[in-house]
Each structure stands twice: as C-alpha cells, then as structure tokens.
Amino acid sequence: MKHPQDEIDEEAVTPADGGFDHGSSPEPPAEEIEISGSDAVLENTDDETDPPEDEVVADESDTVVVEADAEPVEADAEPADADMVEMDAVETDADGADAGTENAVAEEPETQAPTTAGSTSMGFDDTPLARELSEITRRRRALAAEELPLPSRTRVFTVANQKGGVGKTTTTVNLAAALARNGARVLVIDLDPQGNSSTALGIEHRSETISVYDVIINDVEMDEVVQKSPEFDALYCIPATIHLAGAEIELVSLVAREQRLRTALDRFLEESEEPFHYVFIDCPPSLGLLTINAFVAASEVLIPIQCEYYALEGLSQLLTNIQLIERHLNPHLSVSTILLTMYDGRTNLANQVAQDVRDHFPEQVLDTLIPRSVRISEAPSYGQSVISYDSSSPGSLSYLEAAAEIARRGAPN
C-alpha cells in the first residue's frame, strides 16, 4: 500500500491547487512539530468550521420531489438539528442520503408507502420513495448475504483527526457495533476526556468509575477496567472519565510516556481468554500525548473526514505527525482507512470535497460514504449505536457497509 504521504503533497491541499480555501491558519513546518513532552500538544480549537447554511448550495438537479399526483411524503419526524439539511425543501431524495427520507421510511418501511389516489401518470413503483425502499431492501439483502472474514490477528485502529466534530466518535462506535454484530469480538478504547464513546455505547463513566485514566497513569490492568456493552455480547469498552483531561500533563513526567497505552493493551490482548478481532481507539481532537499514545498502540489509522468546507485543513499536519510516529515510535503504523462522513449528496460542496479526498488518497478512502443522518445523530442520546437504534436506516446500512469493506480489505501488508 502506498504511503499517504506519497499521495498528497503539501501543495496539493493549498487553495491554489486543490480549489479549496482552507482558511488562514498555515501549517507549521515539520521541524516545529514536537512529538513528545508538553510541547507536543498541538490543539486544534477550530471546532466551529462549518460553513453557514446559506453557503451550502443545494444542487436541485439531484433532488426529486414527489409531485402533485402522488401524496407528498412528509418526514414524520422530530425536528432536525439546525445544521441538518432543510427537510421541507425535499420530500424524498433519490440517493438515500437524506435524513427526511430516512425518517419517513426507516421505522416501518412497509407501511410508509404513499397512497397514489387519483394517480394516473405515476405508479407507486415509479415514485422516489418506492425506489428508496427497494434500494434499502437491496442493501439489507446484500449485507445479510455476506459473511465477513475475521482477521487472523487483532487489528488495532486509531480513529484520529485533530479537527473537532468530524465524526471520530460516531465512526468508532458504529463501526465497532457493526463488526460486533457480524460476529467479531471488538474493543473500543475511549481515549477522549469528553467520554463520548462511552456515552454512545451506554457504558458507565461517572467520575468515580475506574477508567482508561487509571490504565495510563496508575498502571491498572485493562481487564479491571473493561466493561461489556449492553448492546452486543462481543462488544467491550474501556471508558474515559473526566480525569483523563489531566492526563496530558501528568503523562509528561512519567517513564515511557508515549508507550503506556500500548504496553497495557498488548498485555490485555495477550492475556485475554478469547482473542479480540478489532480494537478501535477514539482520540480527542488534538495531537497531544493521548493521541500519540493511541498512534503508538495501533497498527492502523482511520481518519474520518467530514464532507465540508474545511475538510482538508490540518490533514497534512496530521499526516506529518503520523509519519514522525512511524519513524521514531511505531514502524508498523500506517493510514489504512479514510472514511467520508456527513455526506449530503445534494450539495456540490460535499461532492467536491469527496472527489478531492479520493483524488489524494485513492487507496485509503472507502467506497462507502456516511450520509448526514438524523438517526445517526440521535442514537447516542439513547446510549446506542445507530446499528441497534435503527438498524435499517440508511445511516446504519452505511456503517454496516463501511465495516464490511474494512473486513474485506483486511489489514495492510
């Protein structure tokens, strides 16, 4: 597999070449990037990078609206988040990436068919909703028909991107759940003091809970900390509590500060009675010592990239850091997987970002795109992955398909 650094040069992600204006914060030169010590904390505080809604131009040609002679299918649902695509603009969307359609069809696909009273020119089979339903059925059948291969050795993924809110946690939790549902034994390590993965998996992580903090700082064994997910028998989680927020500073003075997670994980995997097939480490949105610990513990990096305006900003800095880790701390590390998230096929911008990323990383980007989806965003509030929360929704199917792709591709050589 080509190294991603071969695929992307620094120039390629500049506005002049890539067609994107990635904002005004220039990348620091590689020499300035420290990989250890307190200086290593390269926080990206740029969480608020979503473009204002009026900058997202809906491509109306992609939009199919059920017209007069078929009853309009209303999204029967909860109000969408402010940053969700306007639902009333689109009753149904042929490409299935639309949250409104998802709400309309996901709960009871069979009963949601529009009645076409008075319809003469358009039979039900021709409606966008019917096409959507049959597409969902086709995807479900294809997934059900395939038995996913299990890796012969544990694949350890670090899910990283120092940009905040790009879907790291959502991807960690849902890929883990998708693989567990397909028979793999999966461990999620929540390495973010926000504890979002723990919440999303319904795992206890109050401040007094013994957690990954104790593993890294106090040398507590992982098997004393690991909890079983209430969702799937084969899904486990090492939770994060708020104490982890102090770990970046506490780590600085500890011996082997970059290797602590790896040492604990290796021991846990070795001593585990049944082998784990996958480990996913959910990183915080920074390139500090916690993320470095995750890079050292993993063999693969999975980078979620949000299909939005600033998607590629900071990516070369991330890749430079991974390269430094590979050179100095973990020669087995490689960026094996890139997943495009929060994709809205009706915007030209999302398509342009997706194409740009595919051009730069043809081997790493999964074919599957994760659509922007109300179901995906509301699942964590029920302490569930979308895989259990609404298994036949387009968002769930997409994560199942992404998991299948990862399993099929196997570990990089």
333 vs 292: CA distance, rounded Å:
12
- Residues in contact with ligand ATP by CB under 6 A are 164-170, 192, 194, 196, 285, 341-342, 370, 372-373, 376-377, 380, 395
Report, in Å, the least distance between residue 135 CB and ligand ATP.
18
Listed residue (399, 335, 354, 373) closest to 172, CA to CA: 399
> Which partner, Mg ion, ligand ATP, none, binds residue 341 by CB below 5 to 8 Å per kind?
ligand ATP
Angular region, 117: left φ>0, alpha ψ -120 to 50, beta rest:
beta
Alpha-carbon distance of 16 to 344, in angstroms, equals 25
Q: Cβ distance 58 to 346 under 8 Å?
A: yes
Give the gyration radius of the chain's Cα atoms.
22
Is residue 169 left, alpha or beta, with left meaning phi > 0 and alpha meaning psi from -120 to 50?
alpha
Which phi-psi region, left, alpha or beta, contains residue 209 (left: φ > 0; alpha: ψ -120 to 50)? beta
| 163 is a contact residue toward Mg ion (CB under 5 A) | no
Give the one entry of ligand ATP, Mg ion, none that residue 114 binds, where binding means its C-beta sits below a cut-off of 5 to 8 angstroms depending on kind.
none
Q: Is the CB of 81 or the CB of 224 nearer to Mg ion?
A: 81
- Find the DSSP H helices in 212-347: 212-218, 247-252, 260-271, 289-297, 315-328
Q: Which 182-201 positions form the footprint of Mg ion (CB under 5 A)?
A: 196
Angle at 386 between CA 310 and CA 215, to 5 degrees: 80
CB of 391 to ligand ATP, least distance (A): 16
Minimum gap (Å) between residue 299 Cβ and ligand ATP: 21
Minimal distance, residue 166 CB to ligand ATP, in Å: 4
Closest contact distance (angstroms) between CB of 250 and ligand ATP is 21
* 205 contacts Mg ion (rule: CB under 5 A): no
Residue from 154, 158, 169, 316 binding Mg ion (CB under 5 A)? 169
Q: Which does 346 bind (CB under 5 to 8 A by kind): Mg ion, ligand ATP, none?
A: none
CB under 5 to 8 A by kind: which of Mg ion, ligand ATP, none does 14 bind?
none
d(CA 165, CA 159): 13
Smallest distance from Mg ion to CB 110, Å = 36
Say whether residue 337 binds Mg ion (CB under 5 A).
no
Would you tell me which residues interact with Mg ion (CB under 5 A)?
A: 168-169, 196
